[in-house]
């Protein structure tokens, strides 16, 4: 058996290597995180890019067993932000030099919704004269819809696979056509086909999820050749069916530690992609996102949703900053990033180097 340092320096990491890395504690964990930071410095621009997050609507037609905004959670008040409020958010991001926004919502596939998003994308582009990068995270759609939204000016798409293990996926979703693992994979392929930079991600510390499953998740992201990843700890929500399995969960601190190790492993495996420091990390540790950035994440998504709606986009419990406004976030970003000595890439789209390298390779082959 090779020693831990040798594993970290391997060019081709196997599933077994990743399992060993994910399990790292104590000195080995320090080595893992240090290696990841080294690679971040060498293979990314070493800046942290901002994406102003607009949680557009919590109306969702799906019923994922883990998610607080699932259709069947009747205790959840529903909202959709007005067009003018969305445009105000975009204006806010522009004025505060964020460079990019993310438009995220529960899943809807009806025509009025699809057209509304197209209109909003066009309007945001007009408002910013194409200056704001636009990521969308609007679930599973047809190739046609993905193309429509790409043509309207969005250029990055986030769709988490949640888990790359089809059996585990089945346990996290109702058993029907709307929640089908293969459809999710097809959607990821269609997103890329439509022209988007592709982002995916998983939840970490799910009931019945093993370290081997997580190693497979990392290899899945590599095989999908994604440009960006957002992943974080699973956090139980009391008004969801999966809450019943809470006795199977590791402690929140363990899920958090595992999330940091996942970020480090992913950075070592896919050196030049964008990795987000997700909000779920902050739900467990107030400085969770900063720690993730210190380890290897390079994207931060400050919430710029108007304060009055925030409390209702509750995917999980203890979601942070739900009683704040965008301007509070602004001061907070500077303070927090200064504290860890990270440079913010203001006014930049901050696409991953990975995407451009890939494109170059494709056009020269
Ligand atoms: N815990 C952690 N993350 C969650 N998400 C949804 N519900 C939870 C939860 N209970 C994540 C999913 C989804 C993203 C928008 O939020 O990964 O893709
Ligand atoms: Fe809305 Fe899963 S509950 S997409």
Q: What percent of the chain has pLDDT over 70?
A: 96
Q: Indicate whether residue 69 lines ligand 2 (CB < 6 A).
A: yes
Q: Which ligand is nearest to the CA of 316?
A: 1
**pLDDT on residue 318:** 81
For residue 165, pLDDT over 90 is answered with yes
Contact 365, 358 (CB under 8 A): no
Distance 162 CA to ligand 2 centre (A): 11
Among the listed ranges 61-70, 178-187, 313-322, which one has the minimum average pLDDT value? Answer: 313-322
Our CA angle for 351, 333, 288, nearest 5°, is 85
For residue 332, pLDDT over 80 is answered with no
pLDDT band, very low/low/confident/very high, at 127 (cuts 50, 70, 90)? very high
User: In the chain, how long is the greatest CA-to-CA distance?
Assistant: 60
Distance 233 CA to ligand 1 centre (A): 9
Q: Residue 60 CA: which ligand 2 atom is closest?
A: 1
For residue 324, pLDDT over 90 is answered with no
Residue of 55, 58, 60 to mutate, ligand 2, most atoms within 8 A of C-beta: 60
Report which DSSP code applies to 235: -
Q: Indicate whether residue 93 lines ligand 2 (CB < 6 A).
A: no
Residue range 123-150: mean pLDDT, rounded: 98
**Which protein residue's CA is at the shortest distance from atom 16 of ligand 1?**
315
* Average pLDDT value over all residues in the chain: 94
CA atoms lying within 13 Å on the CB side of residue 129 = 1
Contact 199, 135 (CB under 8 A): yes
Q: Which ligand is nearest to the CA of 178?
A: 2
Q: Which ligand is nearest to the CA of 140?
A: 2
Task: State the CB neighbour count (10 A cutoff) for residue 238.
Answer: 10
pLDDT band, very low/low/confident/very high, at 115 (cuts 50, 70, 90)? very high
**pLDDT on residue 333:** 83
**pLDDT on residue 359:** 72
pLDDT band, very low/low/confident/very high, at 41 (cuts 50, 70, 90)? very high
Q: Indicate whether residue 306 lines ligand 2 (CB < 6 A).
A: no
Residue with the bigger pLDDT between 317 and 182: it is: 182
For residue 66, pLDDT over 90 is answered with yes
pLDDT digits (tens, 9 = 90+) for 77-87: 999 999 999 99
**pLDDT on residue 364:** 61
Q: Indicate whether residue 62 lines ligand 2 (CB < 6 A).
A: yes
**pLDDT on residue 354:** 86
Question: Could you tell me the fold of the domain covering 36-364?
Answer: TIM Barrel (3.20.20)
Report domain extents, the chain: 36-364
**pLDDT on residue 327:** 64
Give bridge partners of residue 55 from the DSSP assignment: 104
Q: Residue 71 CA: which ligand 2 atom is closest?
A: 3
Q: Residue 106 CA: which ligand 2 atom is closest?
A: 1
Q: Indicate whether residue 70 lines ligand 2 (CB < 6 A).
A: yes
Q: Residue 240 CA: which ligand 1 atom is closest?
A: 10
Distance 298 CA to ligand 1 centre (A): 20
Nearest to 342 by CA among 37, 29, 35, 23: 37
Sequence-ordered strand ranges (E) for 221-273: 228-233
**pLDDT on residue 30:** 98
Which run of H or E residues covers position 32?
helix 26-43
Find all residues with CB under 8 Å of 147, minimum gap 6, and list them: 194, 195
Residue range 202-230: mean pLDDT, rounded: 98
For residue 119, pLDDT over 90 is answered with yes
Q: How far is it, in rounded angstroms, from Cα 230 to Cα 66?
A: 17
Q: Which ligand is nearest to the CA of 237?
A: 1
Q: How far is it, in rounded angstroms, from Cα 195 to Cα 182?
A: 20
Q: Indicate whether residue 315 lines ligand 2 (CB < 6 A).
A: no
């Amino acid at each position: 058996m090779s020693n831990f340092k040798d594993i970290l320096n391997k060019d081709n990491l196997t599933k077994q290597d990743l399992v060993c890395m994910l399990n790292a504690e104590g000195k080995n964990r320090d080595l893992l995180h240090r290696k990841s930071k080294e690679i971040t410095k060498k293979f990314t621009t070493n800046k942290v890019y901002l994406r102003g997050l607009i949680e557009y609507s919590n109306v969702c037609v799906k019923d994922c067993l883990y998610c607080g905004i699932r259709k069947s959670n009747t205790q959840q008040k529903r909202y959709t932000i007005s067009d003018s409020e969305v445009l105000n958010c975009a204006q806010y991001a522009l004025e505060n030099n964020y460079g990019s926004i993310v438009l995220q919502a529960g899943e809807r596939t009806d025509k009025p919704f699809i057209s509304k998003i197209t209109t909003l994308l066009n309007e945001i582009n007009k408002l910013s004269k194409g200056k704001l990068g636009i990521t969308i995270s609007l679930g599973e759609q047809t190739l046609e819809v993905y193309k429509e939204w790409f043509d309207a000016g969005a250029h990055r798409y986030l769709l988490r696979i949640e888990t790359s293990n089809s059996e585990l996926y089945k346990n996290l979703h109702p058993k029907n056509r709307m929640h089908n693992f293969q459809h999710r994979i097809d959607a990821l392929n269609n997103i890329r086909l439509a022209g988007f930079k592709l982002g995916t991600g998983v939840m970490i510390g799910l009931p019945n999820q093993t370290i081997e499953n997580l190693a497979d998740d990392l290899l899945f992201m590599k095989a999908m050749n994604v440009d960006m990843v957002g992943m974080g700890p699973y956090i139980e929500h009391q008004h969801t069916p999966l809450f019943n399995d809470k006795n199977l969960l590791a402690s929140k601190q363990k899920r958090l530690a595992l999330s940091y190790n996942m970020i480090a492993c992913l950075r070592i495996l896919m050196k030049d992609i964008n990795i987000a420091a997700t909000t779920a990390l902050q739900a467990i540790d107030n400085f969770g996102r900063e720690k993730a950035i210190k380890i290897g994440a390079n994207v931060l998504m400050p919430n710029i949703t108007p304060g009055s709606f925030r409390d209702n986009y509750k995917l999980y419990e203890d979601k942070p900053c739900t009683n704040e406004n965008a301007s509070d976030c602004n001061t907070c970003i500077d303070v927090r990033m200064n504290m860890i000595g990270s440079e913010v890439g203001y006014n930049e789209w901050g696409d991953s180097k990975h995407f451009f390298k890939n494109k170059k390779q494709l056009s020269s082959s």
